[in-house]
Amino acid sequence: MTEDISIRVPARTPERVVLEGRYARLEPLDPARHAESLFAAIDSDAGARHRWLFDHPPTDLVALRQWMEQVAASSDPLFFAVIDVATGRAGGRQSLMRIVPGHGVVEVGNILWGEGIAGTRIATEALFLTASYVFDTLGFRRFEWKCNDLNEPSKRAAQRFGFAFEGVFLQHMVVKGENRDTAWFAMIDRDWPRLKAGYETWLDPDNFDDEGQQRTKLRFS
């Protein structure tokens, strides 16, 4: 029996758009709009949150602005600020990267969610909005998540979000002078309808109590 593999290429190239959700909003990263609130969101534990990232923690607001001015001009990686809809403030950032429309492949990366949104429905919806944009709007076939194989929280997050583990690339990179064995995860377009339904069920307001705590866990049937 021949495996049913969808081939719809090229995908559309990601653009600097706003992605709006109930709890989270993704906006193209803008130093003038996002630097102050992003610095406040990560300042208390910037070192720990940058442990596995390519960039170093900013020493002050000026350094963060300078870094943001450099990356905001990039189209790959294409950076977005993660906005808490309730406060209107940037609580984190992430990017679409390694963008290959001709093969329909794109990766989410450079994820830094501050303590105000990490582990909350804001972060989960930020990932959902990105996946929906990638599959439903742009027509990508494959959406990837990669991380250092030593980064256990990132690996757990990938699997919680519905990415399937595919293996480890040994000695894949040198990051900040250290070897990186890279764990690969991905979701593909034919699985997206099932994953999307799970996200939509979990993100429904009825799934949260008055303190914003989940009633049921995120699951994909």
Q: For the chain, give the DSSP string.
A: ---------SPPPP-S--EE-SSEEEEE--HHHHHHHHHHHHGGGHHHHTTTSSSPPPSSHHHHHHHHHHHHT-SSSEEEEEEETTTTEEEEEEEEEEEETTTTEEEEEEEEE-TTTTTSHHHHHHHHHHHHIIIIIT--SEEEEEEETT-HHHHHHHHHTTPEEEEEEEEEEEETTEEEEEEEEEEEGGGHHHHHHHHHHHHSGGGB-TTS-BSS-----
Return the higher-pLDDT residue of 61 and 4: 61
Residue-level pLDDT at 82 = 98
Lowest mean pLDDT among 8-12, 23-27, 128-132: 8-12
Q: What pLDDT score was predicted for residue 89?
A: 97
Condensed to tens digits (0 to 9), the pLDDT of residues 162-215 reads 999 999 999 999 999 999 999 999 999 999 999 999 999 999 999 999 988 999
Asked if residues 104 and 143 have their Cβ atoms less than 8 Å apart, the reply is: no
- 61 vs 17, 48, 95, 167, 191, CA distance in Å? 25, 17, 20, 38, 41
Check residue 1 and give its pLDDT: 40
Q: What is the pTM of this model?
A: 0.95
pLDDT tens by residue, 71-130: 999 999 999 999 999 999 999 999 999 999 999 999 999 999 998 999 999 999 999 999
Position 9 scores a pLDDT of 80
In this predicted structure, the answer to whether residue 8 has a pLDDT above a threshold of 90 is no
pLDDT of 221 reads: 84
Domain boundaries, the chain: 19-207
Q: Bigger pLDDT: 7 or 38? A: 38
Question: Does residue 7 surpass a pLDDT of 90?
Answer: no
CATH architecture assignment, domain 19-207: 3-Layer(aba) Sandwich (3.40)
Is residue 2 predicted with pLDDT exceeding 80? no
